[in-house]
Amino acid sequence: MHWPFPHLSDQVSLPLPQLRLGKLDKPDRTCKPAALKTFGSTLTRAFSGTLVTVLALGALAGCSSSDETPSSITVYSGRSEELIGPLLEKFTEETGIEVEVRYADSPDLALLLNEEGDKTPADVFISASPGAMGYLDGNKLLKELPESILDQVPARFSAPDGTWVGISGRIRTLVYNKNEVKTGELPQSVFDLTDAKYKGKVGIAPTNSSFVDFVTAMREIEGDARTQKWLDGMKANGVKTYADNTSIVQAINRGEVTFGLVNHYYNEIAKAADPNVVSENFIFPNRDVGALILVTAAAVMSASDEVDPSEQLIDFLLTKESQTFLADDEFEYPLAAGVKPPLNLTPLDEIEAPTAKLSSLGDELADTKLMIQKSGLEG
């Protein structure tokens, strides 16, 4: 059996990795699970002939099994364990429903879920990328959520067909070294970064799901020709590439680069940990595509046979307790009604964000990745 990626590489075909992530024996609902379950697994894929291995490791904990009531669900999470793990653990503590988790990048998990189809062990997909979620929605792999969940979030942050719901929001920003650049000297558009004066001074994370969504939005708003020109221009201008947003913020504070394209909260977390960091966020004005609003989203897989506990988890992620955690501890924008963002963040309705349909970002996931690869930004 093979796992082809016809849109992502020229005739790349690898043996489908032998991944073990099945349901454990269902524990008794009256038993209090000791901890969140995380499975050790290796996810292997290829893009343009490059082999990538994603490793997720963790410990197992639980209690005795019972056949009475199912109380275990499997989650594929594109959000890191550091960011979403505490909420999943809290959900288990409060409900007795154990959660088995596989962590990897959102686009990778979306491709895997599409390959697994109705045989996937996943009940819930939590994506850091609306594009990855839209990709699965377009392939009819998501179950429609009940109105009781959808009504908690503004309609623009959920799928039009009700198959996924936004959990938290983030803004694409330019993070910069405030000791090297005055605010009046900052670029006013993401397209300015291909100018020679920024040569070798900008950092990006080209494989990051948020960057992929940002490029897809650029294609939607500006067209493929201008988008490819920008990608090629960034490569020619000596842009430095990093594994993730955190690495970009760290590189700025080391003096390695002066600017970076990241989600806003990574620098807010860095500032909370060390008020003396030199990095600062700047939101591009005038509805520039560089100021795109993205969401973390959650959905129930259509193949799931644990719909009720899966919906319970998504509903839990929208509670005031969970939304407050995302705002106060992770500096993200809460999306459920009644929870305010951190005081230091500009309210979402005051940001001059570009008009992009979050639900459509997944339609071009494969082609966007191909364009990024064509530019040479992935290595």
Superfamily of domain 170-292+370-375: Periplasmic binding protein-like II (3.40.190.10)
Encoding tokens for residue 214? 């940002």
From the list 343, 295, 347, the residue with the least C-alpha distance to 318 is 295
pLDDT of residue 321: 94
What is the chain's pLDDT, residue by residue, as a tens digit (379 residues)? 333 323 333 322 323 333 333 333 333 333 333 344 444 333 333 333 332 333 333 333 344 334 455 479 999 999 989 889 999 999 999 999 999 999 998 888 999 999 999 999 999 999 988 888 999 999 999 999 999 999 999 998 999 999 999 999 999 999 999 999 999 999 999 999 999 999 999 999 999 888 998 999 999 999 999 999 999 999 999 999 999 999 999 999 999 999 999 999 999 999 999 999 999 999 999 999 999 999 999 999 999 999 999 999 999 999 999 999 999 888 999 999 788 888 778 888 888 888 777 766 767 778 898 999 999 998 7
DSSP, residue by residue, 156-174: GGB-TTSS-EEEEEEEEEE
Compute the distance between CA of residue 65 and CA of residue 295 in angstroms, rounded to an integer: 36
Question: Helices 130-138 and 209-222, interaxial angle, to 10°?
Answer: 70
Annotated domain spans of the chain: 2-169+294-346, 170-292+370-375
**CATH label, 2-169+294-346, candidates 3.40.50.300, 3.40.50.920, 1.20.1050.10, 3.40.190.10:** 3.40.190.10
Encoding tokens for residue 347? 């309210």
312 Cβ neighbours under 8 A, 6+ residues apart:
91, 95, 97
Question: What is the value of pTM for the model shown?
Answer: 0.75
Other CB atoms within a 10 A radius of the CB of residue 235 amount to: 17
Q: Write the CA distances from 69 to 26, 29, 32, 66, 107, integer angstroms.
A: 8, 6, 14, 7, 33
Other CB atoms within a 10 A radius of the CB of residue 362 amount to: 27
From the list 285, 268, 281, the residue with the least C-alpha distance to 174 is 281
Other CB atoms within a 10 A radius of the CB of residue 229 amount to: 15
Same fold, 2-169+294-346 and 170-292+370-375: yes
Helices (H), 302-354: 307-317, 320-328
pLDDT of residue 323: 95
Compute the distance between CA of residue 329 and CA of residue 320 in angstroms, rounded to an integer: 13
Q: Write the CA distances from 17 to 41, 59, 102, 239, integer angstroms.
A: 10, 22, 15, 33
pLDDT of residue 175: 98
